[in-house]
A and B are shown apart, each in its own frame.
Chain A
Amino acid sequence: MNPIISVKDVHKTYASGHVALKTVNLDIRQSEIFALLGPNGAGKTTLISIICGIVNPSGGTVTVNGHDIARDYRAARSMIGLVPQELSTEMFESVWATVSFSRGLFGKKADPAYIEKVLRDLSLWDKKDARIMTLSGGMKRRVLIAKALAHEPRILFLDEPTAGVDVELRKDMWEIVRTLREGGVTVILTTHYIEEAEEMADRVGVIAKGELILVQEKTELMLKLGKKQLTIELQKPLAEIPPSLAAHALELAPGGHTLVFTYDTQADRTGITALLNDMREAGIGFKDLATSQSSLEDIFVDLVRQSR
């Protein structure tokens, strides 16, 4: 299947000389949820802004569903909805007016029924006549989402959608994103919160210092880089790890009640059986076992550290 967005050799150096993006290549598949993950200042917003036409790339090409974003900007842009990071709103306007304005701007005929549906889905309906400046931050975020959805985009960009957003809106937002995806909409979100990518994304791209370090299926990424830890609660505390167990990657937690064994889920042999055998032979009894998987956050921190 052809990618819905194809970014080729795009780089960006701002007039100030700041290199925001080194050469980036990225394909986004139709109807996927793609998370662009990276610390602040990594180039996430610059990349999005280039695709959406807000920033000119210094070089490279971007096509959206086959349409070049420069030559064929009308076709490319009319497919895209963008929810920006900043809460930039027409503060003196009513919610209804600003959302209807967005639909018109993207060349769509007025459709009050559709706008009503969008506002209802976002729990904005009872605020439709309120001036935006009177709304809370979370409500303003909803307005921005409504504006982005007003022209029925096929691709939705969410730039740091949950920055400063309460739990309820976060849940609503994921609900909306899921519904959109079921309807075939491709969603690209940037975030520096790992849980967000972990919870929602099909694929994850990690960006740091203007470079796309890796792009991978989320599950694959977690499998590939995911280490598991086996925590063993001991019956009697140990002063140190006995020499007979030294061959295993063990750590003794402070207090001596817990042994932590780190193993690779991808390896042919995890070493768990051998460890337990050796423990029995050494006469070390345990009362509980627990395993935990390293989160995307750990993986991410590792990756960013490596790239430095």
Chain B
Amino acid sequence: MNFEAVRAIYGFEMARWGRTLMQSILSPVLSTSLYFIVFGAAIGSRITQIDGVPYGAFIVPGLVMLMLLTESTSNASFGIYFPRFAGTIYELLSAPISPFEIVLGYVGAAATKSVILGLIILATASLFVPLRIAHPFWMVSFLVLTAVTFSLFGFIIGIWADGFEKLQIIPMLVLMPLTFLGGTFYSINMLPPFWQTVTLFNPIVYLISGFRWSFYEVSDVHVGVSLAMTLAFLSVCLVIVWWIFKTGYRIKA
């Protein structure tokens, strides 16, 4: 195990984040605050409680998930795409380092950033609404699991993308809609039965539901199912990453 290399990549990626700390933190915090003002304060005041939880508090786990998914994906995808774009990936490929260590460095750094961001957003949210966390252990577990999973997902996109546009497409066209339709702002029980069934095909539903359960013990699907789905998605990403390095897909001629 080449620990020095993992440390080098991790440190390098964290330093990159540190250089742009203001915009990295400010923009997610600002957009989350906007959601709270619009959905929480303006609209939320006209909505009754959902499952016994005030609307403003109800959307907090969904919003944290929304940020977690987009930030993990974009951070990790950019982290590995940029060396490919700039050509500096030659150094990674010629270094005495295994694929596992490369992934550990890049995905570890991306996941760390999004966990920190998630906690900052939670702190921001607590300024707007009273928060209650019923199961802190599971809350943190879901937070970390999701951050790791979607950082892996971002890593895959960063390898797949062959232009800056493609880097944006998946987060914008797939992740964002699925998150909005995945119960960020509502309980899927509020939908007509047909759409409830359709929604169950959206993997993000399980993430948000499980995460929300760790706060308020209310959920759209059973928390065990949520956990299983999260782990399943994590496994799928791991298999794809394994395949990428096995075949050298888009990184090695």
Contact = CB atoms under 8 A, between A and B. Distances in A.
Interface of B (DSSP majority class):
helix
Contact of B94 (A52, A91, A103): A52
Contacts of A109: 4
Interface in B90-122: 90-98
B16 A92 contact: yes
Interface string A97-137: 10011111111110000000000000000000000000000
Interface string A36-59: 000000000000010011111000
Contacts of A75: 96
A97 B12 CA distance: 8
Nearest to A90: B88
A53 B88 CA distance: 14
B8 interface: yes
B4 A108 contact: yes
Interface string B1-35: 01111011101100110010000000000000000
Nearest to B85: A88
Interface of B: 2-5, 7-9, 11-12, 15-16, 19, 83, 86-88, 90-98, 248, 252-253
Nearest to B16: A92
A97 B8 contact: no
B93 to A, nearest CB: 5
B94 A82 contact: yes
B86 A90 contact: yes
Nearest to A81: B94
Contacts of B88: 88-90
How many chain A residues sit at the interface, stated as a range, is 35 or more
Given A97-B12, A107-B5, A53 B93 contact: yes
A307 B138 CA distance: 70
A109 B12 CA distance: 15
Given A91-B86, A101-B12, A77 B253 contact: no
Contact of A147 (B9, B11, B91): B91
Contacts of A53: 93-94
B95 A105 contact: yes
B87 A88 contact: yes
B7 to A, nearest CB: 6
B90 A54 contact: yes
Contacts of A246: none
B253 A14 contact: yes
A78 B87 contact: no
A104 B95 CA distance: 10
A80 interface: yes
B159 to A, nearest CB: 16
B94 A56 contact: no
B8 A101 contact: yes
Given A80-B94, A107-B96, A88 B253 contact: no
A103 B19 CA distance: 21
Most buried by B among A14, A105, A106: A105
Given A78-B96, A107-B4, A97 B253 contact: no
Nearest to A72: B96
Given A54-B94, A89-B88, A105-B92, 17 more contacts: A52-B93, A53-B93, A55-B253, A74-B97, A82-B91, A82-B94, A88-B88, A89-B86, A90-B86, A90-B88, A101-B11, A102-B91, A104-B5, A106-B95, A107-B96, A107-B97, A109-B4
Most buried by A among B3, B4, B95: B95
A15 interface: yes
Most buried by B among A76, A82, A103, A104: A104
A92 B19 contact: yes
Interface string A223-244: 0000000000000000000000
A86 interface: yes
A76 B97 CA distance: 11
Contacts of A101: 8, 11-12
Contacts of A174: none
A43 to B, nearest CB: 13
Given A84-B90, A106-B96, A147-B91, A56 B248 contact: yes
